[in-house]
């Protein structure tokens, strides 16, 4: 193993990935597991977790599944305690769990606004806080990767169904990433974000059913995100290869945001 291989090696580290049983979270979890991390998948649905665990285990990864509802803010501290008791340490946290809702801004329901903000921002902060207290601060080392979105960096196109709460939440994730990176950097904790563009997933299925061709036409690389397109950047940000990167949001969208 050369110098770069050693920097990318995650052997001996524990990575917690929320929303890790499918979609973008699963893709990131696969990358971390392939490079040696012991991966703890967190999701609400046991069936999805079991399927993801079997898939990753079949490829040689060390993977564990923990069913938890991150929308229950009161349970997050206990979840961090339980992970500590079971695995002894956490080195990497990937905050991927999230939700969206489509509605015109003038008609957006308040209860759904609150749900989107709570899961995408508040739960993300509370879990990051708990992991920092329990693991990263005592260790004086840790890496947090927040999954934001290009929707948090630009206005939503008016031709597409409105997602004002999601846009607002992901914009908050971008600046929360900066704020935590600035405050926790002197304590050895790196905090970064990935801002994906459109990838096929359950969350984007409705939009893509109607707008996929137009979205591809507006992407310089001429395609949607694929099943491997987040792996490299996630591995970089999680590993010592990205040891001097903090407070950054890296866009992975085939160039769509630049035009």
Coil, strand or helix at 221:
coil
Residue 111 CB neighbour total at 10 angstroms: 7
Start-to-end CA distance of the chain, whole Å, equals: 40
Residue 166 known to be catalytic: yes
Could you give the CA distance from residue 29 to residue 32 in angstroms, rounded to a whole number? 5
Catalytic residue among 166, 184, 198, 199: 166
Counting Cα atoms < 13 Å in the Cβ hemisphere of 206 gives 9
Note whether 92 and 83 are within 8 A (CB).
no
Ranges of beta strands (E only) in the chain are: 14-18, 38-43, 62-67, 92-95, 142-147, 189-196, 249-252
CA angle 153-157-163, nearest 5°? 75
The set of catalytic residues is 166
């Amino acid at each position: 193993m050369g110098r770069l291989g050693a920097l990318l090696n995650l052997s001996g580290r524990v990575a917690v990935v929320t929303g890790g049983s499918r979609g973008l979270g699963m893709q990131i979890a696969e990358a971390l597991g392939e490079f040696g991390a012991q991966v703890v998948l967190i999701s609400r649905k046991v069936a999805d977790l079991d399927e993801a665990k079997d898939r990753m285990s079949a490829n040689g990864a060390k993977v564990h599944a923990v069913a938890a509802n991150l929308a229950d803010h009161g349970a997050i501290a206990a979840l961090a305690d339980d992970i500590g008791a079971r695995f002894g340490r956490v080195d990497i946290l990937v905050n991927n769990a999230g939700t969206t809702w489509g509605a015109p801004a003038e008609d957006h329901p308040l209860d759904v606004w609150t749900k989107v903000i709570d899961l995408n921002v508040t739960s993300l902060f509370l879990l990051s806080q708990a992991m920092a207290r329990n693991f990263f601060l005592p260790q004086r080392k840790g890496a947090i990767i927040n999954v934001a979105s290009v929707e948090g960096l630009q206005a939503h196109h008016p031709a597409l169904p409105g997602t004002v709460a999601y846009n607002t939440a992901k914009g908050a994730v971008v600046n929360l990433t900066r704020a935590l990176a600035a405050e926790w950097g002197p304590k050895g904790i790196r905090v970064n974000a990935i801002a994906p563009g459109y990838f096929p997933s359950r969350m984007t299925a409705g939009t893509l059913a109607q707008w996929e061709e137009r979205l591809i036409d507006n992407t310089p690389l001429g395609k949607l995100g694929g099943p491997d397109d987040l792996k490299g950047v996630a591995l970089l940000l999680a590993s010592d290869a990205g040891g001097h990167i903090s407070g950054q949001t890296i866009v992975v969208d085939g160039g769509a945001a630049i035009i």
